[in-house]
Amino acid sequence: MTQEKKNNPHQGHRDRMRARVLSQGIDDMPEHEVLEFLLYPLIPLKDTNPIAHDLIDKFGSLENVLDASPKLLLEVKNMTRNAALYLSAFPHIFKKYNMQKFGDKPTLDTIAHAVEYLRQLFLDKKEENIYMLILNANGTLLSSCKVGEGTLSACQLDTREFILRTADSQGNCIMIAHNHLSGSPLPSFDDREFTRWLISLSEVLGIALIDHIIISKEGYYSFRENDLLSDYAGAFKKYMDNAKASDKYSMKVRKFADKK
């Protein structure tokens, strides 16, 4: 062994890190050390500590690093294509792992259970999406499907897909969910009007809309929990009643005009 190797403070560093993870886990490790450890098998011939520091400096957090695209990750010095590809795949792996814990047909019989499921459903989304969840009378999830997508700040329902899925379903009720990327889960004016319209459409299709839940990093918002669904219910019936009354009034006006 040469004197240079004998005095090298980094010699055996990876082995010590692996032993530390094995005995203590990663819960208390700084973000840059978690990244450094993740990069060991991906960049085997370079010191991954400075790469990890540079990644945190550029993106601000471990979460942002894993959410970054391979193209952006490659802007960091000494990053490799292989490492960038695998790091960007981790959120999708986490999502698949967590979703499988729910099983094929989870029971979403409470708002808390629904929110827990939806957090994982939207985990890796970089755009706003609308999902429809079809449930039976016991709250068992029969199927879920994306019925709308959009930009970073807005999304639009695919009405045809929504109607076809609803008409073809064997469920008793549906739940609508979408995500906010801005941080706050509070509904916008458009979200409220969209929910009002959805309830009317669901009434026409003969299926109950039991909730519209908005998911964001700051929390969630349930229209049912905030007693808004009951305010919107019957909107289509009221519209039809008003339309009928309007038609009757129009007929009376025409008859009166004809007599003149």
Burial 57-74 (b: 16+ CB within 10 A, else e): eebeebeebbbbebebbe
Q: What's residue 124's pLDDT?
A: 83
Q: What's residue 78's pLDDT?
A: 94
Specify the CATH number for 103-242; select among 3.40.50.150, 3.20.20.20, 3.40.630.30, 3.40.140.10. Answer: 3.40.140.10
> Which spans in the chain are helix H?
3-6, 13-24, 31-39, 48-59, 62-67, 70-73, 81-101, 111-121, 159-168, 189-205, 229-232, 235-259
Q: What's residue 163's pLDDT?
A: 85
**In whole angstroms, how far apart are CA 215 and each of 130, 185, 196, 220?**
11, 6, 18, 5
Please say whether the beta carbons of 3 and 40 come within 8 A: no
How far is residue 154's CA from residue 214's CA, in Å, rounded to a whole number? 13
Global pTM value: 0.72
Q: What's residue 142's pLDDT?
A: 92
Q: What's residue 256's pLDDT?
A: 42
Tokens of 54: 């540079």
Every domain of the chain with CATH number 3.40.140.10 lies at 103-242
What is the pLDDT tens value at each position of the chain, 260 positions in all? Answer: 444 445 545 568 888 989 999 899 888 899 999 999 999 999 998 899 999 999 999 999 999 999 999 999 999 999 999 999 999 999 999 888 988 888 888 999 999 999 999 999 998 888 899 999 999 989 999 988 898 887 656 678 888 888 888 877 778 899 999 999 878 999 988 899 889 888 888 888 888 899 999 999 899 999 999 988 876 665 555 555 555 555 544 444 444 445 55
Tokens of 108: 């979403």
Tokens of 234: 């019957």
Residue 233: HSE in the Cβ half-sphere, 13 Å Cα cutoff: 13
